[in-house]
Amino acid sequence: MMSLLTDNTMLAALLALVGLGTLFGGLLGYAAEKFKVGSDPIVQQLDELLPQTQCGQCGFPGCRPYAQSIADGDAINKCPPGGQSTINAIANLLDISAPSLDEEHGEEEIRTIAYIREDECIGCTKCIQACPVDAILGAAKLMHTVIADECTGCDLCVEPCPVDCIDMLPIVENIHQWQWSAPEHSADLIATTASGMHEDAA
């Protein structure tokens, strides 16, 4: 056997290469199965940056589908609830420049929470079906109410209500949620130009 190989170097080379190819092919195949990544990790990371309002203002049915779409190359500025900070975070993750919010999808507004005017509720369950996070409690012909802690303020329950008894109210800050505000930056007085526009100088 060995003498056959030493005599036919061509055959030996061929066998060696085929052998190596099979070995590494097998290894790679095994690794691909063993260390398989379940879902696209970038989608996961994008999904974590999105505000999880599930409002659909981006045109996708929820935050994860939009994350998937961004991973597939969609624009990153379609999320009004997340606003500029979310856009910046996504831009930072994807290492691209951050565009400003696409006005087509809505404007960045203060966070609100849905409140049902309970006297007027007729118990139609339409809002319950519309809520993407199951934050509305109630049953047919019984009053409904919003679990304020779970409400994402997505607005989706307002439109289906046949008696218009849902209000989107801004979150009232109480003493426990209060935080110090950042000091206002005064103009950086060093190195101003004659016109006083320090941005020019910078």
Three-point CA angle 55, 153, 124, nearest 5°? 85
Residue 178 in contact with other proteins, rule: CB under 8 A? yes
Residue 181 touches other proteins, criterion: CB under 8 A: yes
Q: How far is the CB of 88 from other proteins (least distance, A)?
A: 9
Site map (CB under 8 A) of other proteins, residues 114-143, x = contact: ------------------xxxx--------
69 binds other proteins (CB under 8 A): no
Burial of 35 (0-12, 13-18, 19+ CB in 10 A): exposed
Q: Does residue 190 interact with other proteins by CB under 8 A?
A: yes
Q: Please, which residues bridge with residue 137 across strands? A: 145
182 binds other proteins (CB under 8 A): yes
- Residue 176 carries which side chain, given as an amino acid letter? H
Task: Note whether 67 and 46 are within 8 A (CB).
Answer: yes
Q: How far is the CB of 83 from other proteins (least distance, A)?
A: 12
The distance of closest approach from Cβ of residue 180 to other proteins in the complex, given in angstroms and rounded to an integer, is 4
Q: Is 175 in the site for other proteins (CB under 8 A)?
A: yes
Which DSSP helix (H) or strand (E) runs through 170? strand 166-170
Contact mark string toward other proteins, 7..46, x via CB under 8 A: ----------------------------------------
Residue 167's DSSP bridge partners are 115
Helix, strand, or coil (residue 164): coil
If one counts every other C-beta atom within 10 angstroms of the C-beta of residue 159, the result is 11
HSE value, Cβ hemisphere, 13 Å, CA-based, for 125: 6
Tell me if 180 contacts other proteins by CB under 8 A: yes
Count, residues near other proteins per rule CB under 8 A: 30
- The pair phi, psi for residue 116, each rounded to 5°, is -95, 125
- Residue 115 DSSP SS3: strand
- Is residue 4 at the binding interface for other proteins, with CB under 8 A as the rule? no
Given the complex with other proteins, which of 50 and 161 has the nearer CB atom? 50
Instruction: Give contact residues for other proteins (rule: CB under 8 A).
Output: 47-48, 50-54, 62-64, 132-135, 149-150, 152, 174-175, 178-183, 185-186, 188-190
